[in-house]
Amino acid sequence: MKVVFFGTPDFAVPTLKKLLQHPAIEVAAVVTQPDKRRGRGNQLNPSPIKTVALQHDIPVWQPQRVKKDIEALQQLRQSQADIFVVVAYGQILSQEILDMPRLGCINVHGSILPKYRGAAPIQWCLYHGEAETGITTMLMDAGMDTGAMLLKAYTPINLLDNAQDVAQRLAEIGADLLIETLLKWERQEIQPIPQDDAQATYAPLIKKQDYILDWSKPAIALHNQVRGFFPNCVTSFREESLKVIATVSLGAAYWSLLPEFNFLEDHTLSSLSMAVPGEVVSIAKGMGPIVQTGEGLLLIQQVQLAGKRPQSGWDFANGSRLTVGEKLQTTAI
């Protein structure tokens, strides 16, 4: 089976590697986003997918806008691929492109469709506190993740998993599921299932304001926001920006899910007060500050001060000489 692979970030790498290793599959070319300037030196850096492709001497095409690029469209036609595979490519394919390969275009999507269609399914899944997610392979159409579904695979979400943890797990699951999908699809062993649009939910691009922590929200909502939008959530501490990277929502509803934090139960109960949201009510030795929220208490497990490296909540409390009664404020971006 001759494949053209469309993908860009780390999430797509396990899938490309599995395709390259499979004896029944030939990767004819890779389409990825143009190199981007990053870092202090403003150097051009290739995408993770381009790096892998070059290591295996696979032709790489990097159009700015694939559906408008005459040369790219010609290359895609001339590839005579049986199928196009798309994993987190970052551009929408036109109907012209979707119609090129004889077996169609298959997408590997990081959610259980029709839930969380869109650009950031893993992040919004965690934000909403889902206990399970997975991968769906689907036939692509002109809509945003609206095509008929082929196969699904599921994985549970731990209360302390963040978006990076879940993405790494789903990337491996997606790689295996795609291989199974391609082989069964070629043998006509899969019956596509249309999505129920009435059950659809959406996972749009994350905006800067989505990172702002509002301490009047319940502790569990803040925890889900921190792990969903890892590692970019922010608050204000002593009028400076402070990234909150890892948290633990404390309380009776969570002790059974957090056995390693059970020792904090008595500690947090004794910390209950008439504190206002954002106020530090206690500092757990070896752990970090415990903050009052709109509902419940939140342990700040890891933070990053502006211009500094990430540090544990305990090191932050010690280094800043944090005192009970100080407040974290909702910041403005």
- Binding residue numbers: 111-114
**In Å, what is the CA distance from 73 to each residue of 35, 68, 97?**
19, 8, 7
Name which of 74, 261, 114, 256 is nearest 197 in CA terms: 114
Cα–Cα distance, 325 to 120 (Å, whole number):
37
Burial tier of 187 (Cβ tally within 10 Å: 0-12, 13-18, 19+): exposed
Length of the chain: 333
Helices (H), the chain: 13-21, 48-55, 70-78, 95-98, 121-127, 163-186, 219-228, 265-269, 313-319
The 10 Å Cβ neighbour count of residue 257 is 11
The answer to whether the beta carbons of residues 183 and 137 sit under 8 Å apart is no
Kind of pairing between the strands at 280-284 and 240-250: unpaired
Residues 214-248, buried b or exposed e (16+ Cβ, 10 A)?
ebebbbbbbbbbbbbbbbbbbbbbeeeebbbbbbb
The 10 Å Cβ neighbour count of residue 118 is 16
Q: Which residues are annotated as a binding site for (6S)-5,6,7,8-tetrahydrofolate?
A: 111-114
Q: Based on C-alpha coordinates, what's the Rg of the chain?
A: 23
The amino acid sitting at 67 is K
